Amino acid sequence: MKKNFTNYTYYYTNNLPRYHHAYLISPLLEMLATLQDASPTKLRVLDLGCGNGSLSHVIAEYGCEVVGVDNSAPGITISRQSFPECQFVQADIYELPHLDMLHSFDVVLAVEVIEHLLYPKELAKNAQKCLKPGGKLIISTPYHGYLKNVALAITGQLDKHFTVLWDNGHIKFFSVHTLTKLLISQGYTDIKFKFAGRCPYLWKSMLCLSTFSG
């Protein structure tokens, strides 16, 4: 059965930042700063699910060389028109087409993408194909944990939070434990987390940094 990325295709109409950038950019840039300090050369970053390119642009302004990939034709058109300092490729995340992507990136980044995928392990597998040995995978995804779920239940927010009425919405819900387990199953090591948005244990999202040993 062919796996596809069509369940995560948005129709972008502008180049404005996505709502989650407000609380994710700061911890993400902190992670990239640590990696850049340890690298003798400019980081080469692959932004999977780059959307309209606005986050790729921020990372490029920070000093990284950025290639963005998305399956949305409008998103890639807007990206190319708005942010010429980056390279953008329209492609399915499961079928990355260019040989120059193979084992050529220091960092593969997927921001608020994996929760939309029917086959989340495939993101980790395909990231390995693009990473240099010792390269880093950074995934951000909405945080889920026991206390947050209890709070949602007590406040009557479960239906809203886990709504099935959002087209192209979330279909996977990760905790620290389950995301760690997924990455370990695909051979990643040195797994570290940062958290973003709201207060401790009610965080909006978590950012996970892991290493591909090659």
Tell me the C-alpha distance between 214 and 212, whole Å: 6
The better pLDDT of the pair 6, 213 is held by 213
What integer best gives the mean pLDDT of the chain?
Answer: 90
- What sections of the chain are H helices per DSSP? 21-37, 54-61, 73-82, 120-130, 146-154, 158-161, 176-185
Place of tokens 């949305």: 72
Residues 114-118, mean pLDDT to the nearest whole number: 93
Nearest to 78 by CA among 111, 56, 61: 56
State pLDDT tens for residues 122-169: 999 999 999 999 999 999 999 999 999 899 899 998 888 888 777 778
Domains annotated on the chain, with CATH: 6-10+41-212 (3.40.50.150)
State pLDDT tens for residues 177-186: 999 999 999 9
Cβ(101)–Cβ(46) below 8 Å: yes
pLDDT higher than 60, residue 5: no
Residues in the chain: 214
pLDDT higher than 80, residue 120: yes
Q: What integer pLDDT is reported at residue 10 of this predicted model?
A: 65
Tell me the C-alpha distance between 146 and 33, whole Å: 31
